[in-house]
Structure 1
Amino acid sequence: PRRRAVSVAVTPAAGLADERVETRVAGLGPGQPVTLRAVAADERGCLFQSCAHYRADSRGELHLGTDASHGGDYTGVEPMGLFWSLAPAGMERPYQRLVPRSTGTPMKVEMLVHQGHSQSSAIPGPVVAKAEVERWFTAPGVRRIRLKEGGVRGSLFLPPGDGPFPGVIDMYGDEGGLIEFRSSLLATRGFAALSLPYFDFEDLPKVMKEFKLEYFEEAARFLQRHPKVKGPGIGVIGTGKGAELALSMITFLPEVVAAVSISGCSSNTVADLHYGEMTLPGLRFDMNKVSVSDAGVFDTFEALDDPTNPANSPSTIPIEKAEGHFLLVVGEDDRMWKSSLYAELAIGRLRQHGKENFELLSYPGAGHRIDPPSTPFCQVAMDRVLGVPVLGGGESKAHAHAQEHSWGKIQEFLHLHLG
């Protein structure tokens, strides 16, 4: 009898980027070896791909939720492995991140089934089936409002409906500009989320030289007073430099009652932070302490001034003054800087003042930038400030699991403290 055609089904074919999909292949021969490959392009047309080796079961079927990959970019049972292991294709510039620049259009991923087992660098075997899947970063009815009020810039994402909704300010790190995809996902999950840039965007300062906390205070007051935002307090989530700014905001601004710090430092870094008459000087990076690998990858792990050195105590953020609650999220293999140590220092400082207003999520094997689920893992990324590839650390599978676990915990924490 003629063999039936091979088919691959990905469900849902269009869904939210922070949700899992189910991938099934049917119509293969019993035990047939195949390579599954995912291909996506970013807004600039740069191609990203991933691959994994599977064998069909006795019925000629495959289910990525229960069947293990035996090779390729990951091994084991990883239903979302093809998504989080997407990396620049061979002919592209390496060290690029696949992050959506616009949240209104989906990321399209093509899923291909190839005959035989082939590595991502090799030419794959013939395609026997393919399907396309759309990953959306916003849900129908979520509104995006570009801010031009007063001095505050960025985008406010509002969930559908009358609200009021818990309000959250969302900030990224030293890459600057406006990064919206986490805010639009938070709005999809029921938060009024303000994606807040703080340099290198529109009329904001071009570089991180010095910051005034008054800018962040104006953003906090704007969000807190918004008719769609439920009070009395708001939350802040930040990654890297944004995490450290979140710690300063909850410390000095009464509007902020919950702070999520992802891979943050417990001291102010790089740029001095002013608030009224007060200044927290920024710890500096010592470029002599940066090591460079044979491949030209920079490792900045040892380069930041030591926050435990008494001479650097003026830079310490006095988080014990905060009335609100902290969620500290760290990857234990962060190579950008010592975020595990910084979380320990923060917790030590709170405990020293008799405070237990914190939770710690510490992930073995995870690197620096812990993003929403299935965000492709990027161990080394081009640094916009330095213009060179910098090691973020981490191992892909552990990092992917940290992203999935922390995303649920972050939402729980924000709901608990913002209502």
Structure 2
Amino acid sequence: MDAPVALADQAVHITIKDLAPHDQVVVGSSATDYHGKVWRARATFTADDHGTVDLTTTRPRSGTYDQADGMGLFWSMRPPSGDPDQAIFLRPYPETAPSYTVRISVTAHGRALAGRTLTRAWETPGVRSRDLTLAHDKVAGKLFLPPPGTPRHPAVLAFGGSEGGVGMPFEAALLASHGYPALALGYFRMPGLPAALRDIPLEYFAAAARLLAAQPATDPAHLVAMGYSRGSEAALLLAEDYSRLVHGVVVYSPSSLVGPGFPAGGDAWTYRGRPISQGPIPLDHLSGPLLAIAGADDALWPSPSFTGQIAAQLKDDHDRHPHQTLIYPGAGHGVGTFPYLAEGISFVNPTSGATTPLGGSRPADAAARERGWPKVLALLADARH
């Protein structure tokens, strides 16, 4: 293994050597989630003529995944019970547990041959984080900053969609570990904030962006808004109406329209005390790059069509900034964000138990995240130049 300790969004290269030629081995993985449940994956391989199995290039004969994939033992892990399509490998927030471990085992003919423990980190040493509160900071969320001494970098204001609470804390921790200050923002369903996605002031997001821009590690000329699902509306609106503050956009499973409040209707967003009208989101004032990522089989809403509309609108507006609109085949609403974590393809409401299909498949979502996340890091790296 080339990386026994690595960030959770980085791949490891696993090779098994000194086997008998064409021998069969079983490679397994296991990790413990937030609730103490042990998730597992396994795959059976046939060694090559030299007695070697390279997980990156060797297709398993059987197992929890079925294509050559060096990280298949990570994203294909399954819980000890229940439908893996309706489960997610939950971890404590990164500031509480900055890493987790994955145990890799190799067996042949019922005999253990080798075992290794890998550390998958959310934060590199020196990353700092703190909770933001309405009382003290005027916004609620979690701020993650790179280690002291890191040169100024682009920064990311990240927020989720209709689930509420603090969105994207793991993404923010990983971004800070890559050198980019990040703020995981909550904007409803938190103490002191609206109970539902309704009448959310765009000024609230602008206040969070200004707080992030003021951090010593932030290059304020390159601040990016990252929104997922319903949060994509806020990200696009923020980049449009605060173009001097926000200089780029990343949206996952996006909409090109302002939708109604959720779940009871009304107006989702306000600006300068007035409701923002439902309908197409204008994009003619963007001041930086845009990256939109959708899954072709999104079952929650038509994000592929919305992504196409975003691309067409930027073309019609002769937008001069770099933009990419990516639609990954077979992926669903869970097309993002960072790769290699085991996640299902349905959302199960923890209160009611109701299940909402997100579309796609676990392998397709995993492949999309592996391809899409580097696009986000590349956008941020390009903004530095």
Aligned pairs for 1:150-299 (under 5 A) are 150-162=137-149, 163-178=151-166, 179-254=168-243, 255-271=245-261, 272-281=268-277
CA root-mean-square deviation: 2.3
State the match for 1:394 in structure 2. Answer: 360
Shift of residue 233, structure 1, vs aligned partner: 4.2
Shift of residue 252, structure 1, vs aligned partner: 1.2
Shift of residue 50, structure 1, vs aligned partner: 1.6
Give the secondary-structure state (helix, strand or coil) at the position aligned to 1:367: coil
Aligned pairs for 1:12-91 (under 5 A) are 12-90=3-81
Match of 1:368 among 317, 322, 333: 333
Q: Distance in 2 between matches of 1:417 and 1:93?
A: 38
Contact (CA 8 Å) 2:106, 2:114: kept in 1 or not?
yes
State the match for 1:322 in structure 2. Answer: 286
Shift of residue 108, structure 1, vs aligned partner: 1.3
Cα gap change, 1:93/1:359 in structure 2, threshold over 3 Å: closer, same or farther? Answer: closer
Give the secondary-structure state (helix, strand or coil) at the position aligned to 2:284: helix
TM-score (norm 1): 0.81
Contact (CA 8 Å) 1:175, 1:385: kept in 2 or not?
no
Contact (CA 8 Å) 2:223, 2:248: kept in 1 or not?
yes
Q: Distance in 2 between matches of 1:324 and 1:20?
A: 30
Contact (CA 8 Å) 2:87, 2:343: kept in 1 or not?
no
Give the secondary-structure state (helix, strand or coil) at the position aligned to 1:318: coil
Q: Distance in 2 between matches of 1:268 and 1:405?
A: 28
Aligned pairs for 1:89-128 (under 5 A) are 89-90=80-81, 95-103=86-94, 104-115=97-108, 127-128=112-113
Cα gap change, 1:278/1:349 in structure 2, threshold over 3 Å: closer, same or farther? Answer: farther
Q: Distance in 2 between matches of 1:93 and 1:364?
A: 21
Give the secondary-structure state (helix, strand or coil) at the position aligned to 2:257: coil
State the match for 1:353 in structure 2. Answer: 317
State the match for 2:307 in structure 1. Answer: 343
Give the secondary-structure state (helix, strand or coil) at the position aligned to 2:86: coil
State the match for 1:332 in structure 2. Answer: 296
State the match for 1:411 in structure 2. Answer: 377
Q: Distance in 2 between matches of 1:17 and 1:94?
A: 21
State the match for 1:120 in structure 2. Answer: none
Regions of 4+ moved over 6 Å: none
Q: Distance in 1 between matches of 2:250 and 2:103?
A: 34
State the match for 1:3 in structure 2. Answer: none
Contact (CA 8 Å) 2:146, 2:217: kept in 1 or not?
no
Percent identity over paired residues: 29
Q: Distance in 2 between matches of 1:392 and 1:147?
A: 31
Give the secondary-structure state (helix, strand or coil) at the position aligned to 1:88: coil
State the match for 2:265 in structure 1. Answer: none
Contact (CA 8 Å) 2:161, 2:228: kept in 1 or not?
yes
Q: Which amino acid aligns with 2:282?
A: P
Q: Distance in 1 between matches of 2:88 and 2:173?
A: 18
TM-score (norm 2): 0.88
Give the secondary-structure state (helix, strand or coil) at the position aligned to 1:183: helix
Shift of residue 150, structure 1, vs aligned partner: 3.3
Q: Distance in 2 between matches of 1:94 and 1:346?
A: 30
Q: Distance in 2 between matches of 1:269 and 1:40?
A: 39
Q: Which amino acid aligns with 2:331?
A: A
Cα gap change, 1:48/1:339 in structure 2, threshold over 3 Å: closer, same or farther? Answer: same
What stretches of structure 1 of length at least 5 have no aligned partner? 1-9, 117-124, 282-313
Cα gap change, 1:359/1:27 in structure 2, threshold over 3 Å: closer, same or farther? Answer: closer
Q: Which amino acid aligns with 2:169?
A: E
Cα gap change, 1:322/1:139 in structure 2, threshold over 3 Å: closer, same or farther? Answer: same
Cα gap change, 1:386/1:269 in structure 2, threshold over 3 Å: closer, same or farther? Answer: farther
Contact (CA 8 Å) 1:263, 1:339: kept in 2 or not?
yes
Cα gap change, 1:389/1:47 in structure 2, threshold over 3 Å: closer, same or farther? Answer: farther
Q: Distance in 2 between matches of 1:176 and 1:409?
A: 26
Count, aligned residues: 370
